[in-house]
Structure 1
Amino acid sequence: MESREAMAREEIVWACQKLAAAGLIAASDGNVSCRLGRGVYLITPSGFPKAEVKPKDLLVIDTAGSVLSGNGKPSSEWRLHSLVYEKRADVGAVVHAHPALLTAMTLAGVPFSSEVFPEVWVAVGPVPTAPYAMPSTDEVPRSLLPFVENHHAVLLSRHGSLTMGRDVRQAYYRLEKMEHAARSLLAACVFGGRMPDSLSAVQLEQLARLFS
């Protein structure tokens, strides 16, 4: 196994363990991938509890979903990952999870307001919500198509979140930051009786300049 692939396997396992420990997934929910080369990437197996995934369990597939190495089936949401890698040359890893609060926001029809938090705006930017799509089908990438090219994260209605990054850790930490922000939004609504105001356009532009 090439050292690059070995490192990618370890990073995906790290993310799976973090996702499970943080309660961002349950049982076999979610999936993680990492680009290996043009049209080829590592992905978690289907129906496998993420807390138990080992480096040897990961599969190498192409963007058509064909297994190039490994045993078993790739995640049933491989189409989602393929869409990202085909549309975003700058993305090296994808995390799809089922974070409780972010998913609850989509159930309630409440948009995630990253514009409220300076650190979330800088690290993630705007986060749209894609319409509901039948899981594990071509509907999922179709629902994401309008968003993946211009965003680092997208919420999937009734179906969790998608975060992208230059590597596995950036994709994971973007999710962690978003779910933490969702807890703050919930607390603000409880304490204040409404969603907090967003930063102004001028303030967001200042942040963009400061942290560009």
Structure 2
Amino acid sequence: MNSEFKIKQDICEIGRRMYEKNFVAANDGNITVKVNDNEFWATPTGVSKGFMTPDMLIKVNMEGKVLEGTWKPSSELKMHLRVYKERPDVGAVVHAHPPTATGFAVAGIPLNKYIMPEAVIFLGSVPIAEYGTPSTDEVPNAISKYLQTHDAILLQNHGALTVGQDLFSAYFKMETLEFYARVSLIARQLGGEKELSPDQVEKLMEIRKKFNIPGRHPGYKGCLPEKNTCKSKNEDGTDMEKDINKSEMIEIITKVTKRLLDQYKVN
């Protein structure tokens, strides 16, 4: 396990990367890392993530009380603590404003197209949590409904949140999210995304399962029309499917046809 000083060094390094990649501007964004079930290192308020030093970081408990350090915690600490309360598997949380992903959040467009293997494997679809006033319980409440099935969430008119088993995992998901958003935007400007087929996506889900990638994933719901089959495949590989046989299809078509004829029947 990393020493606490190494954890603080890593937080400063990730803050620097976020700033250099324009994921944050001025004093935006915040980072937390779990030490144990009741202690977390957090970035302070009012400090650029590109210019932090380990002595600026603060340790807080699950109630948000400062245990070590002289700086004040970020106003978004409530959002981070909600993640740790509801996701014991999470070891770090990153909040930033990557421009393209935030643009999708502002436009109200979720990233739910399956277009890139990396995004499918590590993120799946990325939902948009309803807008909440910063520093209030509205933001934690908004993300709560998505935490059990997603490691990346867009925050409406605000930014993005990613979580991971450790700090670098959480941060790399933020990089993947922004790259996914950039490619999606460019593809739309070129005429629209061409999504991977259900079979292709399911193979990628098998890869995720094979390598036992940690974290939560929304799974994949796709239809295979050539097999007259609709599948809902979970991350654990289980699926629910409903096969439509020939007789059922004929019955459905007959009922619909009769209804249309009745509707347009001339008296």
Same fold (TM over 0.5): yes
Q: Secondary structure at the match of 1:51?
A: coil
C-alpha distance in 2, partners of 1:200/1:80?
36
Residue in structure 2 matching 1:204, options 201, 204, 219: 201
Residue correspondence of structure 1 range 173-188 to structure 2 within 5 A: 173-188=172-187
CA distance in 1, matches of 2:81, 2:155: 16
Structure 1, gaps ≥5 residues long: none
**Alpha-carbon offset, residue 89 of structure 1:** 1.4
Match in the other structure for 1:22: 21
Give percent identity, aligned residues only.
Answer: 37
Contact 2:129 2:154 in 1 (8 A): yes
Query: Within 5 Å, which residues of 2 pair with 1:113-124?
Result: 113=112, 115-124=114-123
CA distance, structure 2, for counterparts of residue 162 and residue 77 of structure 1: 11
Residue identity in the other structure for 1:25 = V
Quick check: 1:102–1:182 contact (8 Å CA) kept in 2? yes
Within 2, Cα distance between the matches of 1:146 and 1:178? 19
Residue by residue over 1:115-162, the C-alpha shift from the partner in whole angstroms, topping out at 9 and shown as x without a partner, is 221111112222111010001111110001101122111000011000
Larger Rg: 2
Q: TM (normalized to structure 2)?
A: 0.75
SS in 2 for 1:163: strand
Structure 1 Cα separation of the partners of residues 198 and 88 of structure 2? 29
Conserved? CA contact 2:131–2:156, under 8 Å? yes
The alpha carbon displacement at 1:114 in A equals 5.3
Establish whether residue 43 from structure 1 lines up as the match of residue 42 from structure 2: yes
Q: 1:89 to 1:133 in 2, by over 3 A?
A: same
Unaligned runs of 5+ in 2: 210-267
- 1:190 deviates by 1.2
2:93 alignment partner, SS class? strand
The equivalent of 1:69 in structure 2 is: 68
Q: Give RMSD over aligned pairs.
A: 1.4
User: Does the 8 A contact of 1:35 with 1:93 survive in 2?
Assistant: yes
AA of the residue aligned to 1:199: L
Q: How many pairs align?
A: 209
Residue 147 of structure 2 is matched in structure 1 by 148
Letter in 1 for 2:167: V
